[in-house]
Every structure is written in structure tokens, then in C-alpha cells.
């Protein structure tokens, strides 16, 4: 008896291809420890709860359930083996294999969502099938079972939260320098200025650029240039406050946003970074590398009031610093 929509069995050829795909993938055991224990626990106490279970026997190649189909049952594998796949069966992504004592399909029930993958029996497989209603009944009758499920839920949610954090960091960080990237800057900049306007405090930005970086790269090569960017990124990270936003703005351009910093504070910070950079000696493959930076400093709301125009103002100041001989900082003159 099956509560899943229909019973579909792969042809011998299709099954053969599936085995081939499994062999090609280094299939790992995907079942977390908690779940394995859970399946074993339920299987062990089977007789006690036998009225809550139905048995389902699958032949090799039989689909136990399909991806994207709403879940109605949880299964515990009593004997046999199944594979968990995602995507089209003609080109499946193999997620892993599951065997005796393991539970499948519980997340769709707990999340009231569709199945996140398709599960196919690889050999003659005997399953205990628990309907949604009985699954929750079981959860309520057995303390051990419900504790295990809760432990599972918290592990799953921790994994999800870690994954969100990881993806976020990947998306907003420049991998070479460890600073934020331009994408992050634009996602936060307008918001910072709005907040500054509301609370009536200034926001300064420092736009930094390595002097003659193209010549540097031509002389020492790009890997050496990358090393300089990396070192500079680290130095900037150490020279900014917690509230500041330091970004790699372009190739060799860095932009630092300093909320609640008055112009004189920002100018002092620009000078600190410039001087520190001038002091830096970077050892790289037997060579000692050195570079200088120029900086342009602009202040909200005195010099500009939007992200775009503020960066343009800093860029103008940077140009002035470059024109005046590099290795220095400049800002917008008072009289414009």
C-alpha cells in the first residue's frame, strides 16, 4: 500500500544508467547521525507502534517518491538500499545513498513542503511507511522520538543559518583583499547617508588609489601586484573603526566610508593610511616591494549629498592629490 501518488519503476536500462551515475559520483552518506539514530530507534520499537506503520516493498528501480511532489509519508528503510537524486532522471544529481535503519522523507512533513529530492530503490527494499497523521502521533507519543526530532530540527536550522551566512559573505566580500566589495558598498551606502541625514551627523569617504600601479604591475608582474593589494587590504582593515565600511572599489582603488566622522578625522585617517603604506615593505619571492597611495576625501553633507556625487567629489580630490605629486591626500577646497 502506498500513499505516494503512483508507483513508477525504472527500466533495466535506466537503472543501469543510474548505477553508472552513482559510480561516477563519489557518493557520500548524506544522512546525519541524528536521523540514522532516529530511524533505528523507530525500527527497534516497531512492534510497539506497529499499528502506526504500513509496509511497503519496492523492487529495484522503483521510485519511492518524486522531487517537488507534496510529501504524505515518512519511510524507514528496513532492508535494502535507496538513492537520493535531484533533477531530471536522465541527468540526475546524486545526493547520496541510504540503507537499512535510515529515515527518508521526514523534512517535507515537518516543513509542510514538497519533497526536496527523488528517492529510488536500488535493490529490493522493504520500507516502513508512516502517514503524516501517524508520524505526528508518533512524535507526540514518544518522548525520545520527539527529542530526537527536535535535535534534528535545530541541527538543520543551524546548517541553514550557516549556509546563509556563508553565501552572504561570499557575495559581499572581495576575496583577494578580504574587504567588502562594490556590491556591498552600493547596498549599504544610500542607507548610511539617509541615516546620517536623519540623525544629522557627517559621513566622510576616503577614496584611495595606488600610485602608478600599472607601472608596478608591468615591472613586477601581476602576482606581485596582487600581493600588494592583499597587504594593503589587510592594513586598511586594521586601520578602520568597527563602524567604518572598507571596500575594494575597483582594480587598485579602495573606498572607506566613515559614518559619524568629521572631515578632520577623515583627513587624519587618510594620512595614517598613506603614511603606513609608505612604510610598508612587502617581501615577495625574494624581492622587496613598495608602493605609495594617494587619497581623496569628501564629506557628506558639505561636499555632496548623494552616494554618486559624494564619490565623484572624492574622485576630484583624489585627482588633485595625484596632480600635486602623489603619495598624499587632498579634499575639496572650502570655497569649492
Active-site positions read: 252
Pick the binder of another protein from 16, 123, 133, 167 (CB under 8 A). 167
> How far does CA 155 lie from the centroid of its chain?
17
Question: Quick check: 274 and 291 in contact, CB under 8 A?
Answer: no
Minimal distance, residue 209 CB to another protein, in Å: 21
Nearer to another protein, 79 or 160 (CB): 160
> How far does CA 29 lie from the centroid of its chain?
23
Minimal distance, residue 136 CB to another protein, in Å: 9
Pick the binder of another protein from 59, 93, 238, 275 (CB under 8 A). 238
Does 197 contact another protein by CB under 8 A?
no
Does 41 contact another protein by CB under 8 A?
no
Minimal distance, residue 217 CB to another protein, in Å: 27
- Separation of first and last alpha carbons in the chain: 83
128 CB burial (10 A radius; 0-12, 13-18, 19+): buried
Distance, CA of 201 to CA of 301 (rounded, Å): 9
Pick the binder of another protein from 53, 184, 254, 329 (CB under 8 A). 184
Question: Quick check: 161 and 227 in contact, CB under 8 A?
Answer: no
Nearer to another protein, 120 or 299 (CB): 299
Question: Quick check: 207 and 189 in contact, CB under 8 A?
Answer: no
Minimal distance, residue 141 CB to another protein, in Å: 11
Angle between helices 182-199 and 307-323 (to 10 degrees): 110
Interacting residues toward another protein by CB under 8 A:
110-112, 139-140, 146, 149-150, 153-154, 156-158, 160-161, 163-165, 167-169, 171-172, 180, 183-184, 186-188, 191, 237-242, 265, 269, 272
Amino acid at each position: 500500500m502506498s500513499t505516494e501518488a503512483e508507483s513508477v519503476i525504472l527500466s533495466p536500462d535506466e537503472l543501469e544508467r543510474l548505477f553508472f551515475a552513482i559510480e561516477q559520483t563519489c557518493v557520500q552518506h548524506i544522512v546525519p547521525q541524528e536521523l540514522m539514530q532516529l530511524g533505528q530507534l523507530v525500527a527497534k520499537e516497531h512492534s510497539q507502534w506497529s499499528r502506526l506503520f504500513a509496509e511497503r516493498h519496492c523492487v529495484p528501480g522503483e521510485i519511492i517518491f518524486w522531487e517537488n511532489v507534496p510529501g504524505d509519508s515518512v519511510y524507514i528503510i528496513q532492508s535494502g538500499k535507496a538513492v537520493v537524486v535531484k533533477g531530471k532522471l536522465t541527468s540526475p544529481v546524486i545526493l547520496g545513498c541510504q540503507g537499512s535503519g535510515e529515515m527518508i522523507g521526514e523534512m517535507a512533513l515537518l516543513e509542510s513542503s514538497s519533497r526536496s529530492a527523488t528517492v529510488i530503490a536500488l535493490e529490493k527494499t522493504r520500507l516502513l511507511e508512516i502517514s503524516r497523521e501517524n508520524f505526528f502521533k508518533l512524535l507526540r507519543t514518544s518522548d525520545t522520538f520527539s527529542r530526537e526530532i527536535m535535535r534534528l530540527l535545530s541541527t538543520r536550522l543551524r546548517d541553514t543559518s550557516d549556509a546563509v551566512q556563508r553565501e552572504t559573505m561570499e557575495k559581499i566580500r572581495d576575496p583577494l583583499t578580504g574587504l567588502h566589495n562594490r556590491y556591498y558598498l552600493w547596498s549599504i551606502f544610500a542607507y548610511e547617508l539617509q541615516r546620517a541625514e536623519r540623525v544629522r551627523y557627517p559621513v566622510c569617504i576616503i577614496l584611495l588609489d595606488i600610485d602608478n600601479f600599472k607601472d608596478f604591475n608591468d615591472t613586477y608582474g601581476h602576482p606581485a601586484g596582487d600581493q600588494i593589494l592583499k597587504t594593503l587590504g589587510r592594513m586598511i582593515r586594521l586601520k578602520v573603526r568597527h563602524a567604518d565600511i572598507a571596500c575594494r572599489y575597483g582594480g587598485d582603488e579602495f573606498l572607506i566610508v566613515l559614518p559619524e566622522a568629521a572631515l578632520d578625522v577623515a583627513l587624519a585617517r587618510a594620512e595614517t593610511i598613506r603614511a603606513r603604506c609608505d612604510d610598508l615593505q612587502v617581501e615577495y619571492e625574494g624581492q622587496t616591494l613598495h608602493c605609495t597611495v594617494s587619497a581623496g576625501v569628501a564629506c557628506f553633507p558639505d561636499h555632496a549629498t548623494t552616494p554618486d556625487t559624494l564619490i565623484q567629489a572624492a574622485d576630484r580630490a583624489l585627482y588633485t592629490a595625484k596632480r600635486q605629486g602623489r603619495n598624499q591626500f587632498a579634499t575639496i577646497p572650502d570655497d569649492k
